[in-house]
A and B are shown apart, each in its own frame.
Chain A
Amino acid sequence: VAETRELRSALPDLESLLVEMIAMVLGETATPTAVPLPDVPLAMARLIIHDEADGSYLGVEMRAENDLAQMLASTLLGEADPSPEDVLDVIAELGNIAAGNVKSLLTGNGRLSLPSPLVVSTAPPVPDGTVRAVANLLGHILELVVMPVEGADVATRWPGFANV
């Protein structure tokens, strides 16, 4: 897929992607920031991009303060108190949209996994070479993380298809 240097050079594009995606999906204005995610529970979704041409993999994660993810789920679904499943669904779809555009931006031709969403108590560590596009939205932080990975773990789900 992309070398570390290419990932770093893509950071401005990733920041633009994050801001534009928020505006189009949520109708809200996000502002790029250098402020990191606070040490609070996070809603996150992870996807894998597999470049079948060279056998390489990229990990893409959408991470947001869980409070922010709940607010977004409430807005999108029109429900005052969205369920935990709905919060995961919203972060998963944001991750899906971001990862699809990352795939187009960085690989040009790869296979995209389904999102794996979860809530974590603290941000998981990332490998060297990871790039992060961070934005402030409604006073909370969310970030788009793109990282080199060795492969897809066994929990990775791929789209279902049939031989038609």
Chain B
Amino acid sequence: MQALVVDDSRAMRTILTRLMISLGFTVIQAADGAEALALLEGGERPDVALVDWNMPVMDGLTFIKLCRAHPDFRDIVLLMVTTESERSQIVRALAAGAHEYVIKPFTSQMIAEKLEMLGLIAV
């Protein structure tokens, strides 16, 4: 299983990459939505993408909408991992096509439980 970690913070990408590797995933990374989209257009097909919301160049919400609209990318499971914590924002992300939503700061257990709910791992 492959995971795509999309976050403009190298530290956060490192944290999420370590976590996903510990859960059995291989990981590719992107620093914003445009980079992530370029990876997909280049042929990468991750099973799941963990996507930050607030990023330069292209934000996570836009990336999620584009994924959902693209016939080749719409099977990717999308997990928004963000500091945006208002209910209205969660509703926006889910309406745009995110499968699940995790608010920073998070614990490893929170991410693992979401992945289990999505059928990607067995905890």
Contact = CB atoms under 8 A, between A and B. Distances in A.
B122 interface: no
A99 B84 CA distance: 9
A13 to B, nearest CB: 13
Contact of B10 (A21, A24, A77, A114): A77
B90 to A, nearest CB: 11
B105 A97 contact: yes
A76 interface: yes
Contacts of A108: 86
Interface residues of B, number: 33
A86 B9 CA distance: 9
Contacts of B50: none
Interface string A130-142: 0000000000000
A161 B62 CA distance: 6
Contacts, number: 84
B77 to A, nearest CB: 20
Interface stretch (A3-11, A30-38, A88-96, A118-126): A88-96
Interface in B106-121: 106-107
Interface stretch (B11-19, B22-30, B39-47): B11-19
Given A99-B83, A103-B86, A160-B58, 8 more contacts: A76-B11, A92-B9, A100-B82, A103-B84, A104-B86, A109-B88, A159-B59, A161-B58
Interface of A: 20-21, 24-25, 73, 76-78, 86, 89-90, 92-93, 96-97, 99-101, 103-104, 108-109, 112, 114, 157, 159-162, 164
